[in-house]
Amino acid sequence: MFTFFKKYKFFAVVLIILSAIIISIIYQIMKPKEVLKIYQPADVSTELVDSTLHYVKKYHTIADFSLINQNGKTITQNDYKDKIYVADFFFTTCQTICPIMTDHMVKIQNELKNDNEVLLLSHTVTPEIDSVAQLKKYALEKGVDDAKWNLVTGDKREIYDLARKSYLAAKDVPFQVNDLVHTENFVLVDKKKRIRGFYDGTDSESIEKLLADIKILQQED
């Protein structure tokens, strides 16, 4: 019997390898494809959503916008057409969470520097302070890649509405000319302008989750 097994040892090894490959293929075929949730206003804490949207449960998308970036260029939704992007809200003079958030956005930029499918978009919440020149200075200090990442300023009301009604990323406070309370949230937006995830921009583990989720989102197409 030992001689028999010795004689067919090669074929047995090949059979085992083929079996392992076939089992692996079957597992991959049967394994459910991971899909990211599509977030609606009703899924988000009411303090982050404009009261007019609290009960919206479907069809939510990011509204059209027109803002000015660090190079004085007008940036609209067309610049993000057919792109996955990460959005947040900040201001250049912030000394608390914003520096950490910006450093993490730089990390995302560097991780995805060769991926033309993904862009970044940061909105200032103090446009009266963050002029184009100020945004450019900040961009140079932080190593912002102009082709990848827009820092935008513009009309305060428009930025406020985007934060509360589109990205669902600002606390529920009455609108004031010089006051907009943003959160640490990074918002993942898909190619159809839908929100696919919220991430703590101050937390390293959350950033890793964001990078992983971008890969999942890219597999949807």
Binding-site residues for Cu cation, in ranges, read 94, 98, 182
Give me 146's structure tokens: 């102009």
* Chain-centroid distance, C-alpha 54: 22
Annotated binding residues: 94, 98, 182
What is the strand order of the sheet 84-90 is part of? 149-152, 118-124, 84-90, 185-189, 195-200
What CA dihedral angle connects 123, 126, 130 and 132, to 10 degrees? 50
- Residues facing residue 7 across a β-bridge: none
| Contact by Cβ (8 Å): 55, 42 | yes
Exposure b/e, 11-37, CB count within 10 A at least 16 = b? eeeeeeeeeeeeeeeeeeeeeeeeebe
3-state secondary structure at position 160: helix
DSSP H or E segment with residue 24: helix 9-30
User: Six-digit token pair at 55?
Assistant: 């009960």
